[in-house]
Amino acid sequence: MPVPGYTLKRKGPAVAIYVNKNNGFELTEPMTRECPHCGKHAQLLAAANVSFDVLVQTRPKHVGLLFRCAACNEPRFLRAILRAITSDRIELAPNPAEVERIRERFQYGYLPDTIEQLVRETLDCYSLGAHNAFATMCRRATRAALRTMDATAKQRWHDTLIDILRACEVDAVTANTVETVLFADGDELPLITPDEAAVLVETLKDLFYQSYVRTAKVRAAMKMRRFFAVEGSASVTPIDTEGWRELA
């Protein structure tokens, strides 16, 4: 069973793209992609037309395309292979490649400043495809986080990691690599394959989410509940004291 987020698959069928003689830009079907800015699976709207004459003259291998995200309006840059030039129109290959890499997202606002910086740089390394730099930063961010916690935190994080790997049925070699990267401080870091990096990024985000984001959210919810309980007891005189106490 693949780990969620293990591969980034593009949704939808292949869409042919044409640049017509009058410079009209034509998509045979609307193109939708996950947006690295807003995270929505939104339509890409053409933001600039490619010049037919320039393409005929220069006959490039690849054509740069500029779109904007229908959901958040941010620019999206794509590159398509030039397939054929006819007298009326130019055909570009479907499924143009994203020039911008999709940045890994995280609710950074819940992390202490120093940890936030390390986790940001860790996820940036992953987004850049620098998988070994990413693994090194995974270990550094994990160690930095654990240093701020109590002595039992490392064992708790380790147990959680084992649970995640088991639940996702990650193979033994990958699981061992992830475990070594995150927790075997004395060992050399192994070389990381793209598949191992994909598992590592999901487990790292999960560990930091559980320790910082979920904990903060649950604490906030409990605080809010206590606040309303106190407010309620000050302004309302319950008739059924026993029953009311149960609700509080």
Closer residue to Zn ion in complex, CB, 38/93: 38
C-alpha dihedral, 150 to 151 to 154 to 159, nearest 10°: -100
C-alpha pair distances (Å), 167 with each of 2, 4, 55, 161, 241: 11, 11, 51, 10, 46
Closer residue to Zn ion in complex, CB, 38/144: 38
Q: Please, where are the H alpha helices in the chain?
A: 52-58, 113-127, 131-147, 153-167, 172-183, 194-208, 215-235, 241-247
Q: Which has the closest alpha carbon to 65: 33, 97, 90?
A: 97
Closer residue to Zn ion in complex, CB, 100/195: 100
Q: Minimum distance from CB of 67 to Zn ion (Å)?
A: 10
Q: Minimum distance from CB of 33 to Zn ion (Å)?
A: 9
Cα 53 to the center of its chain, rounded Å: 39
Q: Minimum distance from CB of 10 to Zn ion (Å)?
A: 16
Which stretches of the chain bind Zn ion, using CB under 5 A? 35, 37-38, 69, 71-72
Closer residue to Zn ion in complex, CB, 27/71: 71
Q: Minimum distance from CB of 47 to Zn ion (Å)?
A: 13
Q: Which has the closest alpha carbon to 182: 210, 152, 202?
A: 202
Closer residue to Zn ion in complex, CB, 106/134: 106
C-alpha pair distances (Å), 196 with each of 50, 100, 102, 165, 168: 39, 22, 18, 12, 13
Which positions ≥6 away from 83 have C-beta within 8 Å? 91, 92, 93
Euclidean distance between CA atoms 187 and 180, whole angstroms? 7
Closer residue to Zn ion in complex, CB, 33/205: 33
Closer residue to Zn ion in complex, CB, 91/100: 100
Euclidean distance between CA atoms 211 and 110, whole angstroms? 10
Q: Minimum distance from CB of 99 to Zn ion (Å)?
A: 15
